[in-house]
Amino acid sequence: MNRTSKIFRYVLNRLAQGIPIILAIVVLNFFLLNLAEGDAVDVLAGEAGSATPEYMSELRTKFGLDKPLPVQLLVYLKNVVSLDLGYSFRHDMAVSKLIIDRFWPTLLLMASTIFIAVTFGILLGLMAATRLNTWKDSAISIFALITYATPLFWVGLMMIVVFSIYLGWFPTSGMENISAFHEGFDRFADIGRHLVLPTITLSLFYLALYTRMMRASMLEQYGQDYVVTARAKGLTERRITFVHVVRNALLPVVTMAGVQVGALIGGSVIVESVFAWPGLGMLAFESLFARDLNLLLGIFMLSSVLVVAINLVVDVIYSFLDPRIEVA
């Protein structure tokens, strides 16, 4: 069996293993969310100002909230298997449609954040490790420490003040200028301008994380026996670094990038709030206070699917970075 066939078989096995994991996460989230007092009917009644017990009972019957919790779970799992995530009481529309509408802005923000954070984190960590104990190493380390410790909401507000209000380079909020009715490339450019500040704000924290991790991993690899052997054989420092050390130093960075995908959805709540970005993070935050459990469960399930899929991709990348790691 060749390597491609092994990888394909491994991917299929991991996907099959991921299904019960996702279902277990759905069940756990269902019970945890239902432990809290109140439901969507209480929220709707509170917003209306007054509601009779009969009307509230009628709403609970309509939404299926009057049934025992195990029965509600079975009904929900049955709907999930048929790809029906239920109905959002707050937004008066299907959960799946609402999640799809908000997923693409979140995916755009996550992809651009991960790309910038990982790319520049690796480059800065590499530069710091190869210029150890020089002013470049000190400057990069101080920069990483400051950006790692600075609150995201403060960074976002300062970005708006400096680059939007003072300089006028970028929009203050939103994903696009709807009133301009842009189409084609103009719309693409408009979304890109709106994306710059949220991406930079969210990526700074992860950029610092990957910079510090890459630097530490590089220094650890420089102390390994294979580097000593390579130097004894007369290999140049450039070849040792870029052919041998970097490849092994990337392993923990790739692992952390996979782990951070799920955390990005939760971490993006602050950035989405500051920049009014219409993503899943803010949607989950709003649905939590509205007790819109169907919507919240749908977002959690999508997050778990993303984490399982990204971890699978990370494992496959591992096998290419380190030939000693076999997929089977």
Residue 231 zone, left/alpha/beta (φ > 0; ψ -120 to 50; rest): alpha
* pTM recorded for the entire structure: 0.79
| Contacting residues for 251 by C-beta, under 8 A, at least 6 apart | 217, 318, 321, 322
DSSP state of 93: E
70-98 pLDDT, tens digit each: 888 888 888 888 887 888 877 778 888 88
Q: Which fold has domain 101-321?
A: MetI-like fold (1.10.3720)
152-211 pLDDT, tens digit each: 888 888 989 998 888 888 888 877 777 666 677 777 888 888 888 999 998 988 899 999
Average pLDDT, the chain: 82
Residue 138 clears pLDDT 80, i.e. is over it = yes
Residue bearing the bigger pLDDT, 48 or 158: 158
Residue bearing the bigger pLDDT, 266 or 161: 161
270-286 pLDDT, tens digit each: 888 888 888 888 888 88
**Domain residue limits, the chain:** 3-94, 101-321
Which amino acid, 210? Y
DSSP string covering 146-194, please? HHHHS-HHHHHHHHIIIIIIIS--S-SSSSS-GGGT--THHHHHHHHHH
Residue bearing the bigger pLDDT, 58 or 47: 58
